[in-house]
Structure 1
Amino acid sequence: MLKNWLLLIGAIVAEVLGTMCLRAAVDQSIFAIGVLIGYVVAFILLGLALGRGIPIGIAYGIWAAAGVALVAVLGAFLFGETLSFTAILGIVTIMAGVFIVQAGQSNPDQAEVLDS
Structure 2
Amino acid sequence: MNAKPWLLLAGAIVSEVTASLTLKAAIDNPLLYIVVGTGFVAAFAFLGAVLKAGMPLGVAYGVWGAMGVVLTAVLGSVVYGEPLTAVMGLGIALIIAGVVTIEVGSERAAARVTEGAA
Q: TM-score, normalised by structure 2?
A: 0.89
1:88 is displaced (CA, Å) by 1.0
1:3 is displaced (CA, Å) by 1.2
1:27 is displaced (CA, Å) by 2.1
* Aligned alpha-carbon RMSD (Å): 1.1
1:28 is displaced (CA, Å) by 1.6
Q: Write out the 4+ residue segments of structure 1 that deviate beyond 4 Å after TM superposition.
A: none
Partner of 1:45: 46
Q: Which runs of 5+ in 1 are unaligned?
A: 111-116
- 1:58, 1:82 → 2: CA distance? 29
Partner of 1:114: none
1:26 is displaced (CA, Å) by 1.9
User: Which moved further from structure 2: 88-97 or 22-31?
Assistant: 22-31
What are the within-5 Å matches in structure 2 for residues 1-116 of structure 1?
Answer: 1-108=2-109, 109=112
1:6 is displaced (CA, Å) by 0.5
- 1:84, 1:28 → 2: CA distance? 29
Q: Which runs of 5+ in 2 are unaligned?
A: 114-118
Residue type of the partner of 1:95? I
Partner of 1:113: none
Q: TM-score, normalised by structure 1?
A: 0.91
